[in-house]
Amino acid sequence: MPHGGFSSKLQFVDSIFHYMLVTNQEVTPAVLELHIIDENLSDTLRVQVIPLGLATPVRAVTSAVLNGEIIISGPDIPTLWGYTGSGMVIAEKQESVEVSLETLSMPNGICVSWASRCAIAKGEAVFVSNPLAPRTYTAGGIVTLPGIVYGLHVTANGSLVMATANGVYGLDSQAAGQGFKILGSLQKLSSYQATGYGQTAMTPFGLYGLTKGGIKQIDVASAPEITLSDKTYVRSLSDMISFPDYREGQLFQTSDGVAVSMGTLDQDNDNEFGGGVCMVSLERNVKSWWTQKGIKRLVGVLHEREGDDLFLMEKESATPNSSESCVYKYHLDHDTDDGAGNQYFGGTSGLVAASADLWPVVRAVFTEADNGGALLKSAVRGEFRKKNGDLQEVTTSANGVVVAVNDWKADVPAVTERLKTRELESYRFQFSKRTNDISIETSAQGGKTRIGTVSMDTGGYAQGRPK
């Protein structure tokens, strides 16, 4: 059963190692282990397996890389030390080169690399190592905060940011430039209050944290909340994933934003989803819920050498009362999701502003898609059937110009696959829905589908009357 993981590039070789903290349930009693795996993700040829004692709940696992040395630590595991590209051992303190300073024991907690030092947060204190010495900690490197530190991050300009139970605080990198001591004043960045580990993530667009309704940027004094689900309107083409408090989940950084892991996706492998992963693209200002059959939850985000995201998931095992670790990559060029020819369905939905007094009648919805030969669906305010009972769906035409053929397709009997351009085609869905609370849904079949402009046509207004 996986608890978390991360990836780290090797110092002198263009390669990557993946580090996964798991509970080995194949032995009795179960034990906690750190698995180091090469970039090929070979399950049989692990670089190293480090036992860490009897299995225990793990709240966080973090890492810091400093001049080829790597520190792995968390509030529930001992601190590990090693070199990137080699094995790890339990970290032991290294005496300071300044003989007049007393060297502290190795702390454990969430960690990060900052200003050529390693910073480890434990409780309300942050222990900052001596320069280029991630195993040497002295009293002058202790920074105290007004609350328990649940998030430890470094900004693009090199500042150390700490998300605590009583606000978010920053410390300029110049504070670490004074020999063995940390000299500088804390700056309060916001009043955001973290309530647990895994609730914050640093992105190229700033530091984000979980809130009751979704996420928000927390390294500024005031920022709008990005709501993840809006239950004020009806959904009919797909289930709405919504939770009363998103601070119960976990937040992970991705290549273009963040991923919010909530609940269990499909714990009993029956295609009934009780949770999901909300992918928020801060670069494109788009958010979408992803689900995967048979998966319990997302526990970590790994990275390939090229920078693509790999998602470390906990999956239901064939052995009763146990789980297994799985690594997934979401491809944008695949049509199937389970190898059995079952196609993806993706959808988009949203509210349309309308007067509370004048109730427009939605006459038609116009949708563009490029999924030639597949289903395209539409709904208005949850209404997805025509008056005769037929569904509001069409099979799109197999559009596009043939540009090549694929003679290598391994079908039996052999079938020549025609490769076409993918062009957006417009379709009209007729409705007669009177409402001052307009919500529109569009759903399209196919993993490579683009949905273009979604618009509507109204005809006539009616004055709303209290019922």
| 195, 212 contact by CB (below 8 A) | no
The end-to-end CA distance of the chain, in Å, is 54
Are 314 and 328 spatial neighbours (Cβ–Cβ below 8 Å)? Answer: no
Which residues lie closer than 8 Å to 44 by C-beta, 6 or more apart? none
Tokens of 143: 């920074």
pLDDT at 467: 40
CATH number 2.130.10.10 given to 2-328: yes
Per-residue model confidence (pLDDT) at position 466: 43
Instruction: Write down the pLDDT at residue 159.
Output: 96
CB atoms within 10 A of CB 304: 15
pLDDT of residue 207: 97
Residue 91: phi and psi, rounded to 5, are -70, 135
Domain with CATH 2.130.10.10 in the chain: 2-328
Residue 440: CB atoms within 10 Å: 22
Residues 450/424, Cβ–Cβ less than 8 Å = yes
What CA–CA distances, in Å, run from 107 to 119, 229, 315? Answer: 10, 40, 33
DSSP 168-218: EEEE-GGGG-BTTB-----EEEE-----STT-EEEETTEEEEE-SSEEEE-
Instruction: Give the list of residues 6+ apart from residue 231 with CB closer than 8 angstroms, or none.
Output: 240, 242
Q: What distance in Å separates the CA atoms of residue 403 and residue 390, rounded to the nearest whole number?
A: 36
List where CATH 2.60.120 sits in the chain.
346-463
Q: Find out if CATH 2.60.120 is the number for domain 346-463.
A: yes
Nearest-CA neighbor of 399 among 427, 422, 374? 422
Count Cβ neighbours within 10 Å for each residue of 42-62 and write b for 16 or more, e otherwise: eeeeebbebebeebeebbbbb
Q: What is the DSSP string of 431-445?
A: EEEE-SSEEEEEEEE
pLDDT of residue 337: 60
Instruction: Please tell me the predicted confidence (pLDDT) of residue 321.
Output: 73
CA angle 210, 150, 212 (to 5 degrees): 20
Following DSSP, what letter does each residue of 105-154 receive, concatenated? PPP-SEEEEETTEEEEEETTEEEEPBTTBTT--BGGGEEE-SS-EEEEEE
pLDDT of residue 334: 62
In terms of Cα–Cα distance, which of 368, 425, 377, 427 is closest to 400?
Answer: 425
Quick one: DSSP state of residue 248?
Answer: G
10-residue block means of pLDDT along the chain (467 residues)? 93 90 91 93 84 94 95 97 93 92 95 97 96 94 96 96 97 87 92 96 96 95 89 77 90 95 80 83 87 86 92 84 83 60 77 78 91 89 87 84 71 64 86 87 85 85 49
Would you state the structure tokens that stand for residue 23, as one six-digit string? 């509970």
d(CA 367, CA 381): 16
- pTM, two decimals, is 0.86
pLDDT at 406: 74
